Amino acid sequence: MTTLLLVPILAPAAAAATTAVIGWRRLSAWAVVLAAVSVLACGIVLGFRVGTHPQVGLGHLLRADALSVTMLIVVGTVGTLSCWASIGYIDHELAHAHTTDRGARIYGVLIGLFLAAMSLAVLANNLGVLWVAIEATTIATAFLVGHRRTRLALEATWKYVIICSLGIAFAFLGTVLLYFAGRHAGLGASALDFDVLRAHAAHLDSGVVRMAAGLLLIGYGTKAGLAPFHTWLADAHSQAPAPVSALMSGVLLAVAFSALLRIKAIVDIALGTGFMRTGLLVVGLLTVTIAAALLVRQHDFKRMLAYSSMENMGLIAIAAAAGTTLAIAALLLHVLAHGIAKTLLFLSAGHLQAAHDSTAIADVTGLLARSRLLGSAFAVGIVVLLGLPPFAMFASELSIARGLAGAHLAWVLGIVLIVMTIAFGALVHNTSRMLFGEPAADAPLVRLSGAAGATLLVGMSACLMLGVTGGPLVHLFHLAATTLGVSG
């Protein structure tokens, strides 16, 4: 069992080491892809093994329960698509002399470490190890965001590193305070283990836990793209290379948020459900509102996708605040569906940017007429984001709405519906100009390599499959909600 827990961490790390030694070649590039596939495979195998009893390994440092399995599947799916697309991306950058062999090697090493850090974050059984892993994702992605070395990329990197490091520092202070409360309740050196904290949460000092919970919410909220420290998000996600944007938007935000789900399970016992619910509702509503406002007047398609991620993270925070089994299960389906769709969209956006040498919405016209494949991929991604059937976000948004109603939060549901309608309109308005109509006379030719086309096709099929046959996963999501101690 320990092997299954170690492979998702060690395989990407080994792929990173391979790239470090032999450089970015076919072999090492495929080793990175294979590592991402192995994360997905371990997630699926663990999914069949974990029941209501979490599997613990490596002296209680690692643990797999239904939530970790869900997150491993998201990391594996998005990771596989992004790493596969990275091969074409780096080939293109090398061919146009935007990067060097050394740059390509650094890219391969960092993307492997990034995957390893995310796997460690979702498999950690210890609040401190979780923190180390999440901070490690910032370190691994810093030079991935700035990989193009332009003025804008550099500006985005600086803001990203400073804001996320500061935010995550607050999470560390929160961790230290929770440890203090745990030690004082007689928990000894294992006072940071999730299961130990959960079991003794009722004995923790409420004043100290309140401080800790506030700091952890702000800290991990920063990394999950939640207001008020969301300002790094659009800059970093728009400047990073497309496969990296896909990983950051599609999984990293959700990985950081899964930390908050685990913390909520402890704090809810120590303080009652009111504290985290209020906190998550405030940041969630603030986040969706800001994101919708910035979607309305957006002129840049990559920033548009980034703000849409922010909107979805806000919705996820609101679903977590509702906290019923239905809402938590719907939230996890939402995370997976959003992850795959955002990957498809960012990869498409990368091809658009390469063809037009621009990320302005106004520069892209009549895409469906110019490239059926790229146009369809972009359109499918947007339709998923809009929450239309037959795709999975239709089901997840409907269930979140029912969850809110079930948690007697009808007023929240009302606000969310209004804001989501505004965001819906903004997305339709912005993307219909890009997709439909006559192409401009000077519109550049869009050429996709065979591999790039295959990635987009697989991404589209994944979106559709999840929408049509999400059945087996629903059981897993409900199990995850139950493991988090949710009832009702």
Q: Which residues bind other proteins (CB under 8 A)?
A: 61, 126, 128-129, 131-132, 135-136, 138-139, 142-143, 146, 149, 151-152, 154-159, 161-162, 165-166, 169, 172-173, 175-177, 179-181, 183-184, 189, 192, 205, 207-208, 210-211, 234-235, 238-239, 294, 297-298, 303
Task: Provide the minimum distance between the beta carbon of 208 and other proteins in the complex, in angstroms, as a whole number.
Answer: 5
Residue whose CB is less far from other proteins, 161 or 327: 161
- Among residues 234, 257, 237, 260, which one has the least CA distance to residue 248? 237
The CB-of-230 to other proteins minimum distance in angstroms stands at: 12
Is the CB of 233 or the CB of 384 nearer to other proteins?
233
- Tokens, residue 343: 């990957």
3-state helix, strand, coil in the chain (%, to 5): 80, 0, 15
Q: How far is the C-alpha of 213 from the C-alpha of 210, rounded, in Å?
A: 5
* Positive or negative torsion for Cα 466, 327, 116, 19: positive
CA proximity to 196, closest of 63, 325, 2: 63
Q: Which amino acid is at 311?
A: E
| Nearest CB to other proteins, comparing residues 293 and 369 | 293
Pairing, β 55-57 against β 62-64: antiparallel
* Nearest-approach distance from CB 156 to other proteins, in angstroms: 6
For residue 176, the minimal CB distance to other proteins (Å) is: 4
Please, what is the minimum distance in Å from the beta carbon of residue 395 to other proteins? Answer: 32
- Which of 299, 310, 283 is CA-nearest to residue 217? 283
Report the residue number, 183 or 447, with the smaller CB distance to other proteins. Answer: 183
Looking at the Cβ atoms of 206 and 469, the one nearer to other proteins is 206
> From the CB of 158, what's the least distance to other proteins, in Å?
6
CB of 334 to other proteins, least distance (A): 25
Q: Which is nearer to other proteins, 242 or 379 (CB)?
A: 242
Q: How far is the CB of 36 from other proteins (least distance, A)?
A: 23
User: Residue 276 is inside which H or E element, if any?
Assistant: helix 274-296
Q: In sequence order, what DSSP letters do the residues of 401-463 get, joined into one string? A: HHHHHHTT-HHHHHHHHHHHHHHHHHHHHHHHHHHSSPPPTTPPPP---HHHHHHHHHHHHHH
Based on CB atoms, which residue is closest to other proteins, 255 or 473?
A: 255
Instruction: Choose between 106 and 412: whose C-beta lies nearer to other proteins.
Output: 106
Q: Are 214 and 285 in contact (CB under 8 A)?
A: no
**Helices of type H across 185-241:** 194-200, 206-223, 231-239
Q: Which of 272, 267, 234, 273 is closest to 253 using CA atoms? A: 234
DSSP state of 63: E
Query: Which strand (E) or helix (H) includes residue 326?
Result: helix 325-356
